[in-house]
Amino acid sequence: MQLEALPTVQGDYNLKNYEETYKTFSWKDVEKNFSWSETGRVNMAYEAIDRHAESFRKNKVALMYLSDTRNEKYTFYEMKKLTNKAANVLKEKAGVQKGDRVFIFMPRSPELYFATLGAIKLGAIVGPLFEAFMEGAVKDRLEDSKAKVLVTTPDLVGRVPVDQLPALETIFVVGENVGEEGKLLDFLKYFKEASDKLDIEWVGRNDGLILHYTSGSTGKPKGVLHVHNAMIQHYQTGKWVLDLKEDDIYWCTADPGWVTGTSYGIFAPWLNGATNVVVGGRFSPAAWYKTIEQFGVTVWYSAPTSFRMLMGAGNEIVRQYDLSTLRHILSVGEPLNPEVIRWGNEVFGLRIHDTWWMTETGAQLICNYPCMDIKPGSMGKPFPGIKVAIVDDQGNELPPNRMGNLAIKKGWPSMMAAIWNNPQKYESYFFPNGWYVSGDSAYMDEDGYFWFQGRVDDVIMTSGERVGPFEVESKLIEHPAVAEAGVIGKPDPVRGEIIKAFIALRGGYEPSNELKEEIRQFVKKGLAAHAAPREIEFCEKLPKTRSGKIMRRVLKAWELNLPAGDLSTMED
């Protein structure tokens, strides 16, 4: 079903005229918004926190935090001092220096933000880990990055295989009554005593800032490195896409373990001096609506899977809360269904603005802007300064309405700077003629709107989280009953896709529901809950190429009752 376009609602938006701005925009002009354009001294944390603490925003609330047990507010001035303290702990107790990898493995709490920004103030590279990661996932990431320091909590520290990580020198545990032994140190003990004064480590614009591990269709997760220069795009997209203004109360629902939770949960809002709401705990429709009411949220950035769950909870519950402060809603992570946009317009009286980007792109690239008509189902149009095209497999640009590879002209400010330890992988993202190839297929219509069609590769997007089938398959075959495994994404109305595993059992094992559950739990405990297959199907044998590669597209075709396509490379 094609929904009619939702026209712009007149308003005083930061971006007034998309088409005109796209023609005249230059990234160079954005640089004057940063103090380094005059001083030459660069540091993301300085621009996000300290600069405001030294300005009229000194006593403005920067962070509002809510969990089951805590309800706290911090001004920019307090954030400056608390992030300085965290930096001093990392420096004095663990010798953290510029370029060191400092990983953060904890649920959302104010300390997560102090430690992250504190590490950045030292010029360290921060590696955020999602709290649901289990031992295998934690080990892979700390090992590949040779992390020197980890900040975690008493609940999670048991998932860190300390003995197998020789490069890991210090583990700070954030909690009450932490016993110190071996590499473990009590973070809060030193944090309370630490000085709130610090000489920030100035860095180069292209020095490392953050390392996000993400999954592809082959191999282990890879470390996508972003640099301080990304702030240029975080700032400007915060201004024009999030449309942040001085009085906004902004809420990004993503965890900093994913790139949305750092680029748009830390950097973009604070570079713009906005008040940022952070909520811990689990998703529930009532808790989410309550958050909007209680904090008076005005700008809300979330994901299709969450909107679909809210939609599923019904309209009755929406009416129990005062959501009248909301003025701007955005979405990212997967295709935003036209039906969800229609529902959002009905219950919130607002258009939900889809945005497209990836871990590798560091910031939003294709968006729906408040000043622009929305075509429901479309990702929108390229951000000013960004050249997007649909290209064929040789990198030739295709005309409108032709499906092909969604590609971006190399060199935007927040583009990843490297894949950690893997220059070949980095190169493989680019065509020789300078296009970055996203792995998504899409087309552009005659009005310049882009429409997502699917992934070119086998990467699974489940509830907005990216899962590499290879990683799940590798874990599955560690289970004694599993001989071979092939993993695909199966379309699901709420989660976008769910993970389905096809498994061939080893001799001596019989298919059963108990075994399915045991295998599910095995992945859940070894990798992460969101990576565990929701569906398992046992089969005699998996379709493979003659070189032994599992043909996931054939599994997918079986699952969806579609033609399997070219089978010439398949073994008998």
- Binding positions for ligand WT7, rule: CB under 6 A: 214, 259-260, 332-335, 354-359, 379, 438-440, 452, 455, 461, 466
Distance of CA 14 to the CA centre of its chain: 25
Three-state DSSP class for 145?
helix
Q: Are 172 and 94 in contact (CB under 8 A)?
A: yes
- C-beta atoms surrounding 424 within 10 Å: 7
Smallest distance from ligand WT7 to CB 164, Å: 27
Smallest distance from ligand WT7 to CB 55, Å: 30
Q: Strand runs (DSSP E) across 428-538, as ranges? A: 435-444, 450-455, 460-462, 465-467, 482-492, 496-505, 535-538
The conformation of residue 402, written as its DSSP 8-state character, comes to -
Smallest distance from ligand WT7 to CB 295, Å: 23
Q: Strand runs (DSSP E) across 36-122, as ranges? A: 61-66, 71-75, 101-105
Specify the residue, 178 or 461, whose C-beta has the smaller distance to ligand WT7.
461
Smallest distance from ligand WT7 to CB 16, Å: 24
> How many CA atoms within 13 Å lie on the side-chain side of 429?
24
The long-range contacts involving 166-171, CB below 8 angstroms and separated by at least 24 positions, are 167/142, 167/143, 168/142, 169/94, 169/95, 170/93, 170/94
Smallest distance from ligand WT7 to CB 56, Å: 32
Specify the residue, 44 or 358, whose C-beta has the smaller distance to ligand WT7.
358
Token pair for 185: 């140190």
Smallest distance from ligand WT7 to CB 254, Å: 8
Q: How far apart are CA 93 and CA 8, in angstroms?
A: 54
Q: How far apart are CA 203 and CA 528, in angstroms?
A: 35
Token pair for 15: 């971006």
Specify the residue, 357 or 435, whose C-beta has the smaller distance to ligand WT7.
357
Q: Which amino acid makes up residue 87?
A: A
Specify the residue, 94 or 366, whose C-beta has the smaller distance to ligand WT7.
366
Smallest distance from ligand WT7 to CB 366, Å: 7
Specify the residue, 297 or 379, whose C-beta has the smaller distance to ligand WT7.
379
Q: Which of 351, 381, 353 is nearest to 449 (CA)?
A: 381
Smallest distance from ligand WT7 to CB 528, Å: 14
Sign of the C-alpha dihedral computed for residues 27, 28, 32 and 38 taken in this order? positive
